[in-house]
Amino acid sequence: MTNPGALPTSEVLGEAIGDEAVAHVIEGRSTWQLAWARFRKDRIAMVSAGVIVLVVLVAIFAPVFASLTGHGVNEQFRQTGLNAYGLPEPPSGRFLLGSDDLGRDILVRIAYGARISLFVGVVATLLTVAIGAVLGLMAGYFGGIVDSVIARLVDLVLSLPFLLFAISLVSVTQPGLTIVIVVIGVFGWAAVARIVRGQVLSIREKEYIEAARSLGASAWRIMFVDILPNVLTQLIVYTTLLIPITIVLEATLSYLGLGIPPPTADWGQMIAESQNLYQQAWWFLVFPSAALLITTLAFNLLGDGIRDALDPGLARL
C-alpha cells in the first residue's frame, strides 16, 4: 500500500478508503430526507396531510367565504336566516350549511372558527413544547438541584387534573385567546419536559458529549447543538400528537364557556350554542362537530404517519 513514512495523500488514500469505505457513491442523506421518502409512501398520512392543508386554506380564505355568500361572520340575518318561528334555517342555496340561532351563516362561521382552532392548536403547542424542551434539557443535563426542582415541578403539574385548574385560572381572569394559550402552556410543558429529560439522561453519558466538553464547549452549546438534535425526532412526534389534543382542549374550554368569548366564531362555542336547539336544527350541531372531528382525526393520522416515517421501528405493529 502506501510506503510507511509518507504522508497519506488523497489520491493514494482514495484507494485505501475505497477498500474501507462503506458507501462512497451515495450522497449523505439526513434523517429528514429518509423520513420524507418514507412518509410519501404512506397513503393515509399523505391524505391526512392533504386534509390539513385544506383546513388551513379554509382558515386563510375565510373572508372569501364571507364575500362569496354575502354573509359576514358575525352578521345576523333575521329575515333570511330565521324562519317564522325565529328558528334557524336548514341548509339551502342561500345558507349552504344552514343558519344558527341568531341567523348567522354557519359555513362562514366554521371557516372563521378554523382560524381559532388552528391558531391556538399550533401556537399553544409550540409554546408548550419549547418551554418543556428547554426545561427538560436543563433538568437532564445540569442534574443536581436544577433537576430536583424541575422534576418535582413536573410531577406536581402532571398529578393535577388539568381541566379543573384551567377552570380555576380562567375564573380569576377573563376568558380570552391569550389566557387559553397560557393555560394550555402552563400545564402541557410537564409531559414534554419529562420525555426530554429522560432522553437527555441517556444521551449525556455518550462519548461525543464528553468530546464536546473536552473541546471546551459551554453547557448551553452542548445542550442545543449536540443533545437537542438527538432528541428532536421524539420531540417532533410528540408535537404532532399534541396539536390535536390542544385543539380539543381549546374547543372544550370554549364549550364550557371558558374559552374565546362570543361573538367570535369558535367551533366549541358553536357546539355549545347548538345544544338547546339540536332537536330543531340538527345542522347547527352536526356541521361544527364534523369540522372539529375531521380536523382532529386528520392531525392524529398525520401524527401517526410522521412517527412511522421518523422511526419505523416503533409502533408499526
Partner 1 sequence: MSPEVLLRAVDVVKHFPVQSSQLRRSREVVHAVDGVSLEIRQGETVGLVGETGCGKSTLARCMARLQDLTSGTIEFEGEDISRRKPRQLGRIRRDMQMIFQDPYGSLNPKRRVGAIIGDPFAIHDIADGKERKRRVQEMMELVGLNPEHYNRFPAEFSGGQRQRIGVARALALKPKLVICDEPVSALDVSIRAQVLNLLVDLQKQLSLTYVFISHDLSVVRHVSDRLLLMYLGKVVESGQSRDLYAHPRHPYANALLSAVPLPDPRKAAEREKIVLAGDVPSPIRPPVACRFHPRCPKAQPRCAEVEPLLEPRLGDPVDHVTACHFPVADGESLRSAQSSLPDDLRVIEPEPTPETVDVVGSVGSSEEADKS
Partner 2 sequence: MVRFLIRRIILGVLVMIMVTMLVFGIFFVGDNAETVAYRLAGKNAQLKTVNLIIKRLHLHDPIYVQYWDFLKRLVWHHDLGYSYYGNEPVSTILKQTVPVTLSLAIGAAIIWLVIGVLSGVLSAVRRGSILDRVITTLALFFYSMPTFVLGLMLLFLVSYQLQVRGIRIFPGQGYVGLTQSPLGWLESLTLPWLTLALVSAATYSRLTRGSLLEVLGEDYIRTARAKGLRERRVIFRHGLRSALTPVASQFGIDVGVLVGGAIVTETVFGLPGLGLTAVRAISNGDLPVIIGIVIVASAAVVVANIVMDMVYAFLDPRVRLH
Contacting partner 1 (CB under 8 A), which of 30, 79, 174, 178? 30
Q: Which of 141-152 are b and which e, b meaning 16 or more Cβ less than 10 Å from the residue's Cβ?
A: beeeeebeebbe
The DSSP secondary-structure symbol of 88 reads B
> Applying CB under 8 A, does 20 fall inside the site for partner 1?
yes
Minimum CB separation from partner 2 for residue 317, in Å? 4
> Applying CB under 8 A, does 300 fall inside the site for partner 2?
yes
> Applying CB under 8 A, does 78 fall inside the site for partner 1?
no
Minimum CB separation from partner 2 for residue 306, in Å? 15
Distance CA 213, CA 172 (A): 47
25 binds, among partner 2, partner 1, none (CB under 5 to 8 A by kind): none
159-178 residues in contact with partner 2 (CB under 8 A) are 159-165, 167-172
Helix and strand tally (H, E) in the chain? 14, 0
Minimum CB separation from partner 1 for residue 287, in Å? 45
> Applying CB under 8 A, does 237 fall inside the site for partner 2?
no
Name the region of 174 (left: φ>0; alpha: ψ -120 to 50; beta: rest). Answer: beta
Cα torsion 134, 166, 244, 53 to 10°: value is: -90
Contacting partner 2 (CB under 8 A), which of 154, 301, 309, 310? 301
Rank residues 1 and 164 by Cβ distance to partner 2 and give the closer one. Answer: 164
The DSSP secondary-structure symbol of 16 reads H
Judged by CB under 8 A, the number of residues near partner 2 is 42
> Applying CB under 8 A, does 8 fall inside the site for partner 1?
yes
Angle CA 227–233–234, to nearest 5? 90
> Applying CB under 8 A, does 34 fall inside the site for partner 2?
no
83 by DSSP, 3-state: which? coil
82 by DSSP, 3-state: which? strand
Rank residues 12 and 153 by Cβ distance to partner 1 and give the closer one. Answer: 12
257-316 residues in contact with partner 1 (CB under 8 A) are none
Q: How many CA atoms lie within 13 A of 137 on its CB side?
A: 21
Rank residues 33 and 280 by Cβ distance to partner 1 and give the closer one. Answer: 33
Minimum CB separation from partner 1 for residue 197, in Å? 19
158 binds, among partner 1, partner 2, none (CB under 5 to 8 A by kind): partner 2
**Residue 149 grid coordinates:** 426542582
**In 212-288, where do the E strands start and end?**
none
Distance CA 272, CA 291 (A): 14
Distance CA 58, CA 117 (A): 12
R_g of the chain, CA atoms, integer Å = 26
Contacting partner 1 (CB under 8 A), which of 10, 79, 159, 174? 10
Of the candidates 272, 242, 240, the one whose C-alpha atom is nearest the C-alpha of residue 113 is 272
Rank residues 158 and 225 by Cβ distance to partner 2 and give the closer one. Answer: 158
170-229 residues in contact with partner 1 (CB under 8 A) are 206-208, 210-218, 221, 225-226, 229
278 binds, among partner 1, partner 2, none (CB under 5 to 8 A by kind): partner 2
Angle CA 107–112–116, to nearest 5? 140
Rank residues 83 and 289 by Cβ distance to partner 2 and give the closer one. Answer: 289
Q: Which residues contact partner 1 (rule: CB under 8 A)? A: 4-5, 7-10, 13-14, 16-17, 20-24, 26-28, 30-31, 206-208, 210-218, 221, 225-226, 229-230, 232
